[in-house]
Amino acid sequence: MSAIEKLRSKVLERGSSGILGFGRMFNIVDRNRSQSIDMDEFIRCTEIYQIDMSDQEIRSLFSSMDKDGSGKLSYKEFITALRPPLNDRRMALIGQAFKVMDGTGDDGVVTVEDLKLKYNVRFHPKFVSGEWTEEQCLREFLDSFDSETNKDGLVTFDEFVDYYSGVSAFIDLDEYFEEMMTKCWQL
């Protein structure tokens, strides 16, 4: 079992509340409030959460989680590493939802134009107030699925999966995830 699998297993012994708890640990050990933790702070996390790993395993784990090579873990890197893999049932639901969102269905990418075919923004508070146009409201919705590092107005299937992988990590039961996806996307 790899170090990340060992950590994930220990954290998930408590279900989704384990991920939340370990996530809270991030904020506790981030003493300087930099929104990132260094190796010493990460070691403190594992000690507090009673993760039984050797020093070498912890250092290896930290390096594997540090995707940008900064020597620090952002909260996103931290939580992303803890997420369990999506099972086939959840992946199928995410695939169905993406097809709904990809209104034109012609390029495998969701754009504002795709959303115009599916969503009506007339009740969005900023549209009602005249503060935003229809395009701005749709773009805000699209941005929630778009990559944090490249807000290009195009949502790929991988970005959509990444978003729902994060949501899924906090839902223990497949039945609840299915109900949520079915209601949200009218599957």
pLDDT in tens, 73-86: 988 888 888 888 89
Instruction: Please tell me whether residues 103 and 65 are part of one structural domain.
Output: no
* pLDDT greater than 80 at residue 180: yes
Quote the pLDDT of residue 45.
Answer: 85
Strand partners, 74: 36
- Claim to verify: residue 45 and residue 111 sit in the same structural domain: no
Tally of domains within the chain: 2
What mean pLDDT comes out for the span 48-53?
82
* Bridge partners of residue 37, in order along the sequence: 73
pTM: 0.79
What's residue 47's pLDDT?
87
Q: pLDDT-based confidence at 21, cuts 50/70/90? A: confident
Does 72 share its domain with 142? Answer: no
The answer on 63 and 105 residing in a single domain is no
Q: Where residue 178 falls among pLDDT bands split at 50, 70, 90?
A: very high
Phi first, then psi: give them for residue 52, nearest 5 degrees: -90, 95
Q: Residues 2-21: what's their mean pLDDT?
A: 79
Tally Cβ neighbours within 10 Å of residue 129.
Answer: 8
Whether 63 and 94 map to the same domain: the answer is no
Domain interval for residue 24 = 3-82
The mean predicted confidence, pLDDT, of the chain is 89
**Taking 90 as the threshold, does the pLDDT of residue 157 lie above it?**
yes
Contact 170, 12 (CB under 8 A): no
Please report which confidence band the pLDDT of residue 37 belongs to, taking 50, 70 and 90 as the band edges.
Answer: very high
Write down which residue in 62, 82, 102 finishes a domain. 82
Instruction: Give dist(CA 88, CA 140) in Å, integer.
Output: 29
Domain boundary residue, one of 28, 59, 82: 82
Residue labelled with tokens 């990132």 = 36
Same-domain pairing of 118 and 168: yes
Domain edge (last residue) among 29, 63, 82? 82
Whether 11 and 76 map to the same domain: the answer is yes
What CATH number did the domain enclosing 112 receive? Answer: 1.10.238.10
Average of per-residue pLDDT across 51-68: 89
Question: Do residues 32 and 71 both lie within one domain?
Answer: yes
